[in-house]
A and B are shown apart, each in its own frame.
Chain A
Amino acid sequence: MKEYIATFHTHLSAMRTQRALAGQGVAARLAPVPRYLSASCGTCVLYRANEAHLGDMDADVERVVEKSVQGDGFMELLNRA
């Protein structure tokens, strides 16, 4: 199981994605975007899954990253900033 963070251009887009992931049985919740990912104060979706579920992202997705096991490190999987 890996931890992912998806950021979005709008709060609505984050809500839609969280619901889509939850509908797939993925443990996903809304949260403020971590500071190390962005200076803006948008909404992200934090989720744990075996794969990144990029196909379940809303059209206004900005970035999807896989979190490192420790610290603030991450691996970029998608970037539409």
Chain B
Amino acid sequence: MKKRNFWVILTGVVIGIAALALSALGNPGNMGFCIACFLRDTSGALKLHSAEVVQYVRPEIVGMILGAMIVAMLTKEFKPRGGSSPMTRFVIAVVVMVGALMFLGCPLRMMLRVGGGDLNALIGLVGFVAGIFVGTLWMRGGFTLKRAYAQSLTEGLTLPIIAAVIMALSAFLPALFAASESGPGSMHAPILIALVVGLVVGGLCQRSRFCTVAASRDAMLFKDFSMLWGFAAVIVTTIVGNLILGKFHLSFADQPVAHTDGLWNFLGMALVGWGSVLLGGCPLRQVILAGEGNSDAGITVTGFVVGAAICHNFGLASSAKGPTANGMIAVVVGFVLLTLIGLFNREKA
């Protein structure tokens, strides 16, 4: 096995096991990890939206940011950089969150849902790959958000510090934050375990550059299949784990935190795939890059948090009952926005 594949596969297996363990310890079903859901919950805890069932500061996210930061610092890879079309990235991040909350999960949760037997997620996966394909067409056509530049240490450390402060405040002064008493936000693993698991996964993702979008994008753009090994490792690990735990249920109906509208599951994840290619990586990858001092990724993560608030404040997010009319309109608007952003950010290739 090639050394680079080893790290990617190890990361995929660890993410799969960690997700199973976190669900067993209290996180919602097939939601051991979900960048979109966890940033949405954190957004709710910060009272940026008032959906009472999805409010909780998720330690996994903070752990991932800090884990990536610590490993990057230890390996001299913490490099503050930014300035690559930050506002455009912010808007794309909001659009990606609209797609993710239409489907009910980021690409990582989509893989965990597939691993739990959720067939709706398979449709989402087809949409995700289709969206990535569209994104690669824009890349081939000369799309660029322009280069990033070296920045100050302060700029690179700001998001990790904000994450650490929010985590510390939520642990020691929980009354400051909103906290769900029912619904997905009320279901969570013990804080310390979730934080440590996040640290480990964040560190591993920094070493391996694990990215759910790169798996398909690199295959399409370069015929490079390295990252697909990690993608497969997550799904295989969760299928095997769920079979052992008796939690593998192959069906469309009655899946945890999921709906059965195939068209909108497909379109939601297509939006996520396309937007993520334009951003240069999936939501998980953005969290890791933010930990490495990349302030463009920091702005993107901020966009996810604001996007989640917009989704819940304006009724765009789906629920187990299905998508909303507002959400459908928002997804269509998202496709229009990505097209406009593509057109206005093209240069002669």
Of chain B, the residue at the smallest CB distance from A12 is B144
Instruction: State whether A35 and B214 are in contact (beta carbons under 8 Å apart), knowing that A9-B147, A12-B347, A41-B285 are contacts in the complex.
Output: no
Partner of A35, one of B4, B72, B145, B289: B4
Residues of B within 8 A of A10 (CB): 144-147
Residues of B within 8 A of A40 (CB): 209, 289, 294
Central interface residue in B140, B148, B222, B347, by most chain A CB within 10 Å: B222
Of A16, A29, A40, most buried by chain B (CB within 10 Å of CB) is A40
| Residues B349 and A32 in contact, CB atoms below 8 Å apart | no
User: Which chain A residues border B139 with CB–CB below 8 Å?
Assistant: 11
Chain B 72-94 near chain A by CB (<8 Å), digits 1 or 0: 10010101000000000000000
The interface bits of chain B over 180-217 (1 if a CB of A lies within 8 angstroms of the residue's CB, else 0) are 00000000000000000000000000101101001000
Interface size class of B (residues with CB under 8 A): 35 or more
The reply to whether A60 and B147 form a contact with Cβ atoms under 8 Å apart is yes
Is B226 an interface residue, CB under 8 A from the partner? yes
Q: Please, what's the 1-or-0 string for A7-35, where 1 marks a CB less than 8 Å from any CB in chain B?
A: 00111110110010000000001111011
Which one of A32, A35, A60 lies within 8 Å of B218 (CB-CB)?
A: A32
* B222 engages A31 (CB within 8 Å): yes
A66 to chain B, nearest CB (A): 20
A1 contacts partner chain B, Cβ-Cβ < 8 Å:
no
Q: How far is the CB of A37 from chain B (nearest CB, A)?
A: 11
Q: State A15–B349 Cα separation when bound (angstroms).
A: 7
Known: A39-B77, A41-B281. A12 touches B142 (CB 8 A): yes
A-B contact count (CB 8 A): 56
A60: chain B residues at CB < 8 Å are 147
A residues within 8 A CB of B140? 15
Nearest B residue to A16, CB-CB: B349
Partner of B221, one of A9, A19, A30, A39: A30
In the complex, what's the smallest C-beta–C-beta distance from B144 to chain A, in angstroms? 4
Q: Is the CB of B209 within 8 A of A12?
A: no
- Can you report 28 A-B residue pairs in the complex whose CB atoms are below 8 A from each other? A10-B144, A10-B146, A11-B144, A12-B142, A12-B143, A12-B144, A12-B349, A13-B147, A15-B142, A30-B222, A32-B214, A32-B218, A32-B227, A34-B4, A35-B4, A35-B7, A35-B209, A39-B72, A39-B77, A39-B79, A39-B206, A39-B209, A39-B292, A40-B289, A41-B209, A41-B280, A41-B285, A43-B222
B residues in contact (CB < 8 Å) with A: 4, 7, 72, 75, 77, 79, 139-140, 142-148, 150, 206, 208-209, 211, 214, 218, 221-222, 224, 226-227, 280-281, 285, 289, 292, 294, 347, 349
Counting from the closest, the 9 A-B pairs by CB-CB distance are: A9-B147, A12-B144, A39-B77, A10-B144, A41-B209, A31-B222, A60-B147, A10-B147, A35-B4
